[in-house]
Amino acid sequence: MVYCLADNVTSPLGTTTEANYEALVGGQSALQRYEGRWHLAEPFVASLFGSEQETALATPGLTRFESLVVASARRAVAQSGIDVTTSRVALVIGSTKGNIDCLVDGEEPSQDYYMGDTAQHIAAALGMTTQPIVACNACISGVSAIVVAMRLLDAGYYDYAVVCGADVQSKFTVAGFQALKAVSAQPCRPFDMERLGLNLGEAAATMVLCSHRVAPRDRALWAIEGGAVRNDAFHVSSPSKNGEGARLALCATRAAEIADELACINAHGTATMFNDQMESVAIERAGLNAVPVNALKGYYGHTMGAAGVLETVMTMHGIDHATVLGTRGFEERGVSGKITLSPDHQPTARDSFVKMISGFGGSNAALLMSKTPKLQHAEQALPGFVVTHRVTMLPGSLTVDGKSVDVACDGGEWLTAVYKQCMGNYPKFYKMDMLSRLALVASDVLLQEEGGARFEPCDSRAVVLFNHSSSRQADSDFLATIARDDECFPSPSLFVYTLPNMAVAEVAMRNQYHGETSLYLLPGRDDDTMRNIVRASLLDAGTTSMITGWIDFEDNDHFVADLYIIEKRID
C-alpha cells in the first residue's frame, strides 16, 4: 500500500489544488468555444491556457509541455518536503502525446519530440537523478503512471515517487479527435441523454507518493488500496459493449468488497456516446451500481494524460470536504446502466472512492482510494520470473530462441515478408502503422513457438512493452494530412495509430488477452529499469504470465523487436 503525501493541479482554473477546488465548488468551468483556432475549419469547445497563464508557467529552455509539468511537480514536491535528488525517488510521467506540437512536417523529429528524452529534461529541471519513466497508454496514461509508481514503491525499488499526468492541446490532437467525430462544439454533458461528444483540455496534475515503509504516522493520508489495468481486446477505438476491460479493472481493485463504504465512483465520463454507455454497464456488472457516480469533464474537458491524476486529486479534496462533486452538464441519464448521477454537489460522510478511466486500444484502469484503509493487505513477496521463449527481429534478421530463421524476401519490405511467411492470414495487418505491425508479427512468431491454445479469452496474460521512438511513423503520416491550412483533411485511421499503445492493443485483440496492456517510453533501452517494472507488474495478482520486451520502429531500415514470454515464479 502506498500513500499520497502531497498533490498539485495546474489548470486554466488555477495553479494550486485549492484554487481548482474552489472553482469547482463555485461551479466554474474552464471550457470555452473556439472558432478558427489553429486554422481549423470546425469550431470546438476546450479548456486551454491563456497566453498570460502560459507566460507565468514558462521555464526558460523548456517547451510548453515541459514547463507545465515542472510547474505542477515543483509545487507538489515543495509541499511534500521530500528530497528528490536521492536515488530513492522515482519520476513517472503519464502523457498521451507530450511534445507533439514540436513535430514539424517534412523534418526529422527533434529531441524534444521523444517523450523519454522530454522526461529527462523534466527530471533535470526538478533536480532528480533517477531514470524517468513515461507511461503512454492513451487516455489512461495518468492512472497507468499511478499504478506503476504504486507497484515500484511496493516492490521496494523506491521510497517515493513523483507522478505527474499532463498534456497540452494543439492542431494535431484537436484535428485528430474531430476526424473521429468525437468532438462537441458545445460544452460536454457526461452521461446525459443529449450528450454530443467530448471537449478537450490541457492541464498537469501531480501526486507525490510514498511507500508504507516511510509514510509519516502523525497525520491521515490518502492511501491507494488497489490499482489495475485491463484490456477489452475488442477494438482500437471503440469500447467493448459489455465493458469487459473496465469491469475487470474494477474487480481487480476489490472495490466491491467495500461498496457500502464508497463515497463515489469518479468515472471517465467523456460525454461520448459509447464511452459513457460502456462505463455504466461495467459499473453495474461489477456490482457497484448503488454507488453514486460523478465525472469532472464539464469543468476541465478531457485532459488526456492529465485526466486520471487530476480527477483523482480533485475527488480526494472533495471528499476531504465531505463533498461528492457534481457532474456539470448532466441533466437526465442517457445510458442503460442503472447508475446514479447528480449535477449538484452532494454531501458525504464516507472517505473512500473509486477512480475509473478508459482509452483507445481497449485500455481500462481503476484505482481504489481510501482516507481510512479498509481492506486487509498482506506484505507480498516480490515475484520472480523465468523466460520461456524469445524472438528477436531486426531488418533482415529473425531469431527464435537463439536460432536463426530464414525468411524469403522478394525485395519488398522485410517485415511484410515475415508476415506473409509466418502469419499471412490476418488482413488487418495492412491497416496498421509499422510499430503495430512489428509488435503483431514478433508476438505471433513468439506465440507459435510457445504452442498451446490461442485466440480464446484470457485475463491472466499481460502485454507490457518498452519503446523510445513512440509512434514516430504514424505521427509523421498524420501530420502530413493537416500540415497545410488550405488542405487540412485529417485521417481518422491514421490518427488512431498516433497512439503508440496501439502496438500492445493489437497483440491483445489478436489473442483475446484481457489482462494488463501497458507501454512505457524510455530515453533508451535500459534493461534494469525494464526488469524492475516487469517484476513490479507481476505484483498484480491477476497476472501469471507476460509478453514483454523492447520494441522500436524508426523506419524500414531501423527497427528492433526483442520480445519474450515470461512466467511468474514466487520464490
Q: By C-alpha distance, which of 164, 104, 103, 101 is closest to 132?
A: 164
For residues 230-252, give the mean pLDDT.
93
Residue 254 C-alpha cell reads as: 476489490
β-strands 89-94, 133-135 pairing = parallel
pLDDT band at 67 (very low <50, low <70, confident <90, very high): very high
409 and 360 co-located in one domain: no
Could you tell me if 340 and 292 are in contact, meaning their C-beta atoms sit under 8 angstroms apart?
Answer: yes
Q: Is the pLDDT of residue 218 over 80?
A: yes
Burial class (CB in 10 A: 0-12, 13-18, 19+), 70: buried
Residue 334 C-alpha cell reads as: 442517457
Instruction: Write down the pLDDT at residue 276.
Output: 96
Q: By C-alpha distance, which of 194, 143, 223 is closest to 343?
A: 194
Residue 418 C-alpha cell reads as: 515475415
Q: Is residue 52 assigned to a domain?
A: yes
Handedness of CA 471, 472, 473, 476 (dihedral sign): positive
Could you tell me if 200 and 304 are in contact, meaning their C-beta atoms sit under 8 angstroms apart?
Answer: yes
Q: Is residue 220 assigned to a domain?
A: yes
Residue 473: phi, psi to the nearest 5?
-65, -45
- Nearby residues of 314 by Cβ (< 8 Å), 6 or more positions away: 9, 17, 20, 21, 24, 296, 325
Q: What is the pLDDT of residues 369-409, one digit of tens each?
A: 999 988 888 778 899 999 999 999 999 999 999 999 999 88
Q: Is residue 347 assigned to a domain?
A: no
Q: What is the pLDDT of residues 172-198, one digit of tens each?
A: 999 999 999 999 999 999 999 999 999
Instruction: Write down the pLDDT at residue 470.
Output: 95
Percent of the chain with pLDDT over 70: 99
Which residue bears the cell 520464490? Answer: 571
Q: What order do you get walking across the sheet with 200-201 strand by strand?
A: 32-34, 44-47, 200-201
Looking at residue 459, its amino acid is D
Compute how many other C-beta atoms are within 10 angstroms of the C-beta atom of residue 199: 31
Could you tell me if 33 and 199 are in contact, meaning their C-beta atoms sit under 8 angstroms apart?
Answer: no
55 and 200 co-located in one domain: yes
Instruction: Write down the pLDDT at residue 190.
Output: 97
Q: Is the pLDDT of residue 410 over 90?
A: no
Could you tell me if 125 and 62 are in contact, meaning their C-beta atoms sit under 8 angstroms apart?
Answer: yes
Q: Is residue 375 assigned to a domain?
A: no
User: Which residues pair with residue 560 across a beta bridge?
Assistant: 552
Q: How far is CA 143 from CA 340, 472, 551, 559, in A?
A: 24, 24, 23, 29
Q: How far apart are CA 207 and CA 61, in angstroms?
A: 24
278 and 403 co-located in one domain: no
Could you tell me if 427 and 549 are in contact, meaning their C-beta atoms sit under 8 angstroms apart?
Answer: no
Q: Beta strands of 124-199 (E only): which ranges? A: 133-135, 160-167
Helices 434-450 and 414-422: crossing angle in degrees, nearest 10, is 30
In 3-state terms, what secondary structure has residue 569?
strand
Q: Which domain holds residue 325?
A: 2-342+354-370
Instruction: Write down the pLDDT at residue 373.
Output: 87
Residue 319: phi, psi to the nearest 5?
-70, -30
Which residue bears the cell 520472480? Answer: 384
Q: Is residue 349 assigned to a domain?
A: no
Q: How far is CA 319 from CA 21, 197, 315, 327, in A?
A: 11, 28, 6, 15
Instruction: Write down the pLDDT at residue 424.
Output: 84
Encode burial over 285-306: b for 16+ CB neighbours within 10 A, e otherwise.
bbebbebbbbbbbbbbbbbbbb
HSE (CB half, 13 Å, CA atoms) of 110?
A: 10
Q: How far apart are CA 58 and CA 49, in angstroms?
A: 12
119 and 176 co-located in one domain: yes
Q: Is the pLDDT of residue 134 over 90?
A: yes
Looking at residue 402, which CATH number applies to its domain?
3.40.47.10
Please give the torsion angle defined by the CA atoms of residues 137, 138, 143 and 145, in that order, rounded to the nearest 10 degrees: 40
364 and 431 co-located in one domain: no
- Nearby residues of 218 by Cβ (< 8 Å), 6 or more positions away: none
β-strands 200-201, 293-294 pairing = unpaired
362 and 392 co-located in one domain: no
Q: How far apart are CA 167 and CA 100, in angstroms?
A: 10
Q: What is the pLDDT of residues 535-565, one digit of tens each?
A: 999 999 999 999 999 999 999 889 999 999 9
DSSP letter at 552 equals: E
User: Measured at the alpha carbon of residue 299, what is the angle toward residues 295 and 305, in degrees to the nearest 5?
Assistant: 70
306 and 423 co-located in one domain: no
316 and 389 co-located in one domain: no
Handedness of CA 511, 515, 520, 524 (dihedral sign): negative
Q: Is residue 377 assigned to a domain?
A: no
Q: By C-alpha distance, which of 173, 108, 39 is closest to 476?
A: 108
Instruction: Write down the pLDDT at residue 378.
Output: 76
Q: Is the pLDDT of residue 571 over 80?
A: no
Could you tell me if 262 and 291 are in contact, meaning their C-beta atoms sit under 8 angstroms apart?
Answer: yes
Largest Cα–Cα separation, the chain: 70
358 and 391 co-located in one domain: no
Q: Is residue 153 assigned to a domain?
A: yes
365 and 480 co-located in one domain: no
Residue 87 C-alpha cell reads as: 536515488
Q: Is residue 96 assigned to a domain?
A: yes
DSSP letter at 131 equals: P
Using a cut of 0.75, tell me whether the model's pTM lies above it.
Answer: yes
Burial class (CB in 10 A: 0-12, 13-18, 19+), 32: middle
Q: Is the pLDDT of residue 357 over 80?
A: yes
User: Measured at the alpha carbon of residue 85, what is the angle toward residues 80 and 90, in degrees to the nearest 5?
Assistant: 70
How many structural domains are present in the chain?
A: 2
Instruction: Write down the pLDDT at residue 377.
Output: 80
Q: What is the pLDDT of residues 467-525, one digit of tens each?
A: 999 999 999 999 999 998 888 889 999 999 999 999 999 999 999 999 999 999 999 99
188 and 283 co-located in one domain: yes
361 and 438 co-located in one domain: no
Q: How far apart are CA 46 and CA 51, in angstroms?
A: 15
What does pLDDT average to over the chain?
Answer: 95
Q: By C-alpha distance, which of 434, 571, 402, 385 is closest to 418?
A: 434
Q: By C-alpha distance, which of 433, 357, 375, 399 is closest to 94?
A: 357
